[in-house]
Each structure stands twice: as C-alpha cells, then as structure tokens.
Amino acid sequence: MNVGPQWSPIVWKQVTDSSPGYHFIKLYEEMEKQLSLSKSQPQAQANKWKRKCLLLTRLLYLKVCQVILWK
C-alpha cells in the first residue's frame, strides 16, 4: 500500500498493525500545519514579486536621477 504523503497516524495503524509513536504523531501534526500554511503561499509569492518590481523601479529611478544631476 503506497499512500505517499498521505501518511497519517490512522494509515500507520492500518498498514503496520501497531500504534504510531509520539514522535510520528507530532511530526504529522507539524507537517499538516505547514501544508495548510503553504496553500496561501502563491499569494505570498505574488506579493514578493510585486515588492521586488517596486524596488527595482525605485532603484532605476534613482539611477536615472543621478545620471541627470551629474551631467
């Protein structure tokens, strides 16, 4: 039975016929939190791209102003 990233304490019990340990349960909970947070990540990546473009636009503007003023 290959369940890939869908391993959970319930699947562990079904496959191995033993109860999952404390560390496995804690790891599963942490991974589940990260997965739920990563679903909002595309929006964060879009915001990061917008900030980067804004920064580059400002830097380019400053460079142009410096060139004009130093002439």
pLDDT band at residue 9 under the 50/70/90 scheme: confident
Q: Does residue 5 contact residue 27 with C-beta atoms inside 8 Å?
A: no
* Same-domain pairing of 46 and 62: yes
Split into its structural domains, the chain has a count of 2
Q: By percentage, how much of the chain surpasses pLDDT 90?
A: 0
* Same-domain pairing of 45 and 70: yes
Q: Which domain holds residue 56?
A: 41-71
DSSP state at residue 6: G
Model pLDDT, residue 38: 67
* Same-domain pairing of 34 and 46: no
* Same-domain pairing of 22 and 45: no
Q: Does residue 12 contact residue 24 with C-beta atoms inside 8 Å?
A: yes
Model pLDDT, residue 60: 86
H or E element at residue 9: helix 9-16
Model pLDDT, residue 31: 81
Model pLDDT, residue 24: 79
* Same-domain pairing of 5 and 34: yes
Report the distance separating Cα 55 and Cα 48, nearest Å: 11
What is the reported pTM? 0.42
* Same-domain pairing of 62 and 29: no
Q: Does residue 19 contact residue 13 with C-beta atoms inside 8 Å?
A: yes
